[in-house]
Structure 1
Amino acid sequence: MVGFICALGLLTACSSDSKEPVAESEQPTEDILALNWEQITEQAKGQQVNIYMYGGSDTTNRYLDEWIKPRLQEEYEVDLRRVPVSDIEETINQLLVEKKAGKETGSIDLLWLNGENFRTAKSNDLLWGPITEKLPNFNEYVDGEAADIQFDFGIETDGLEAPWGKAQFVFVYDQDKVAEPPQTMEELKQWVEENPGKFTYPSPPDFTGSAFIRHVLYETTGGHEQYMKPFSEEVVGNWQPMWDYLNEIKPFLWREGKTYPENSAKLDQLYSNGEVWMTMGYDPAKASNEMMKGTFQDSTRTFVLKNGTLANTHFLAIPYNSGKQAGAMVAINFLLSPEAQITKFDPQYWGEGMVLDMDKLSDEQRQQIEAIDRGVATLSNEVLSDHQVPEIPAEYVEALEKQWHEHVAKP
């Protein structure tokens, strides 16, 4: 979240029925994109839309199941069915197999993705669209010219995916044990060495672990600007300072760096148990959410680095062989509505950043946003926005994750 994500890939909670859905036989014969919005909403009535998404976040699952699903059903007669996956890459691979086999109608109607998975999907023609130009809420409330909407990890979105939320990486710590959180990677290194066994990070390609090493990359190789260009083997050849850093802290990590948490959920559990004193992730409100649930101690707080932390946007897309394009478009449009986005911003439901352009909202809507209590462990929007750095193109991320296993995991 983020993702990211995000991230941005990742299954602790399930929908009411987590069996593999069976695709309905009907395939729309009309060109949905040629219809007006009223016709699209009419065609969507009665459709069951299967959304494949990371299933490991209780707050995200609850937001979809308890808030979005009943309203979408009542207002549009669209049944949104959440299909949880541990990593959306598995779903992309399923689509690749279906594409190769010539399967015209699949069971996947909606995808939550970004970054490398979007690059794979776009380059293999796995997505249906363009869709954003037909979505009323996108056109009314989203700044379609913004760089983080037009590009996803350096890849042009071309309207094939619609933004759903914004995430920024934050570090989570226990202020009773960490009096002064580090502000730079060099300070973090010093802290790790002074507190052996109390820090670690997930093993890439976990989205959170991969993001952590990208922060190390930025600070040890001269900043992010050099990576805002097409992939270069020459640039990759200058990564030794990053590998040196990661190997130097390795003996001081949890379990002496002989093993790493497999994902961010495992790292959160280590933090909750007090085995480590820091965790991390792409959700600035997660710490406050976990405190409200009682899984994180009340002394939990968050921080960002002086030189900034990664921020990105994650998206929703429709697969090329969905038989429910109309229903999927109606679902996306509802998820982009001010009502749904503002509710998602509230940590009682999720606490994630919105994709709405504040200048396009009414005074009443802006006041509603300002009145939301984001929690004591959530940094202000001003602090977060002042400490953002962009993501690098997906090719660099792929190279980083592969080489981490060669340079850090193996030695």
Structure 2
Amino acid sequence: MKQKIKAALLASSLLLAPAVGLADTADGDALNSMTWDEVVDLAKGGEVNWFLWGGSDNINQYVSEYIGGRLKEEYGITLNRVGLSDTVEAVNIVLGEKESGVMDAGSVDMIWINGENFRTMKQGGLAYCGYTDILPNNAFVDWANPAIANDFGVPVEGCEVPWSKAQFAFAYDTARFDNPPRSIGELIDWVRENPGRFTYPAPPDFNGSVFVRHVFYHAAGGVDKLLGDFDQAKFDEVAAKTWDILNDMEPYLWREGKTYPASISAMEQLYANSEVDLTFNYEPSGVGLNIENGVFPPTTQGYGLSDGTIGNTNYTIIPFNSPNKAAALVLQNLLLSGEAQYQKARPDVWGAAPAIEVSRTSEAVQADFGTIVAHPNVVPADELAKAALPELQASWISAIEKGWLENVGQ
């Protein structure tokens, strides 16, 4: 089934690709030596195919309407948003094209990405690199920050551009009970005491995978023991404890763990329907949006964990064989602008934390950020940040996901 989905995505994406010969921006070295004005002139009137996770209506609307609208109005560039259920689908398209010899007329111009997918693209020579200094709004990025300069432990080195920051958070309905579990240890006990009232999306769903990593950290006795390069002996030790915890938990999950939600959207719907009592997301602001949209009950409250939750930075990347690199650079520069980052940070639009240093933007943009008032039911970002946990290097994550599928998912 996965192969059929990938084939369908490749076929549909090829329809978006411009005919060979109509685009002349595939030469990254030439672009890297251009001035920004020359890049913009080359991009005007073109198009850009952006592949990104499509499971959030508000994100899709922001990308298509606000970003797409500005691209069209200011540069005459048409933005084609291609929704994905999993980022790896786009990575596999690029990989398949490279293996087929498609070196300068690919169908993917940009991907929303991070973690193990970035590692795959960088190590596989699938990324266009060395261009970030061309972008005027790159000046807003704090590349001296290790959390920006490294993506799940992999040095960025000019191969992608940050877009947002995020940190995992839980949520519960205060009308159903008073004291939600405040640590992974408490959650494990709570699940047994409240059979059928909890579940999590099956990895490799992004949110399901990060939940499993929280349990992995708990089994290890803390993330500090897992930082650094992948250690097979340490992995085997901690993984055995993790699979035991999750398998012991399984009979007490929703539908006795015989099935798992396929996505975070499906899990949030279970919560909205009162089929489960807890939900979570790497985008804590989603609680406020779901309340305002009438999806979640207004008594839903977001919260963090006493033992911390995982946070990271996500990025956009341009494949090596994108035929519309100039248009993709214009798109990336727009995404980094103070105005676009502010729009994205608005609670009624998305509520995503900015990936830029707001203090480096204009006084007008800083003033706009100063007007943002978070939804009262969303856990404050500064509160979450007090107990932020780092992501592991990508090699750990791929091993954890594979291990879950083999030892728990079956």
TM-score (normalizing by structure 1): 0.92
Alpha-carbon distance in 2 for matches of 1:248, 1:208: 21
SS in 2 for 1:172: strand
- Kept in 1, the 8 Å contact 2:17–2:108? The answer is no
Using the TM superposition, name which of 400-409 and 272-281 deviates more.
400-409
Q: Which residue of 1 aligns with 2:301?
A: 301
Contact in 1 for aligned 2:26/2:325 (Cα 8 Å) = no
- Distance apart, 1:226 and its partner CA: 2.0
Quick check: 1:131–1:162 contact (8 Å CA) kept in 2? Answer: no
Kept in 2: contact 1:227–1:393 (CA 8 A): no
Moved more, 283-292 or 183-192: 183-192
Superposed counterparts of 1:160-179, under 5 Å: 160-179=159-178
Pair 1:258 & 2:258 matched? yes
Alpha-carbon shift at residue 108 of structure 1 (Å): 1.1
Give the 5 Å matches for 1:369-384: 369-384=369-384
Q: Aligned pair 1:24/2:19, yes or no? A: yes
SS, match of residue 340 in structure 2: helix
Aligned residue for 2:9?
none
| Residues 194-238 of structure 1: CA deviation (Å, up to 9, x unaligned) | 211010101111111110011111122121112221111011121
Name the CA distance, whole Å, in 1 between partners of 2:217 and 2:301. 24
Residue in structure 2 matched with residue 108 of structure 1 by the alignment: 108
Q: Secondary structure at the match of 1:270?
A: helix
SS of the counterpart of 2:73?
Answer: helix
Quote the sequence identity (%): 39
Which residue matches 1:127?
A: 127
Structure 1 residue runs without a partner (length 5+): 1-9, 11-16
CA displacement 1:147-180 (0-9 Å, x = unmatched): 1211111111111000011111111211111311
Matched with 1:142 is 141
Q: Supply the distance in 2 between the matched residues of 1:29 and 1:386 (Cα, whole angstroms).
A: 44
**Gap change, CA 1:29 and 1:241, over 3 Å in 2:** closer
- Residues 20, 177 of structure 1: CA spacing in aligned structure 2 closer, same or farther, 3 A cutoff? farther
- Give the partner amino acid of 1:403: G
1:323 equivalent in structure 2: 323
- Which structure 2 residue ranges, 5 or more long, are not aligned? 6-11
Matches within 5 A, 1:10-409: 20-25=15-20, 26-28=23-25, 31-103=30-102, 104-139=104-139, 141-239=140-238, 240-409=240-409
Distance 1:23 1:380, change over 3 A: same
SS at 1:256 equivalent: helix
TM-superposed CA distance for 1:243, in Å, is 2.0
Shift of 1:346: 0.5
User: In the alignment, residue 355 of structure 2 is paired with which amino acid?
Assistant: V
**Quick one: structure 1 residues 27 and 19, their matched pair in 2 at CA, closer, same or farther if it must change by over 3 Å?**
closer
The residue number in structure 2 matching 1:5 is none
- Tell me how far 1:19 sits from its aligned partner: 8.6
Deviations 1:329-376 (A, max 9, x none): 011000100000011000211111101113323454333213212212
Is contact 1:176–1:299 with CA below 8 Å preserved after alignment?
A: yes
- Root-mean-square deviation (Å): 1.8
Which runs of structure 1 show a deviation greater than 6 angstroms over 4 or more consecutive aligned residues? none
How many residue pairs end up in the alignment? 395
Conservation of the 8 A alpha-carbon contact between 2:26 and 2:324: no
Q: CA deviation at 1:66?
A: 1.5
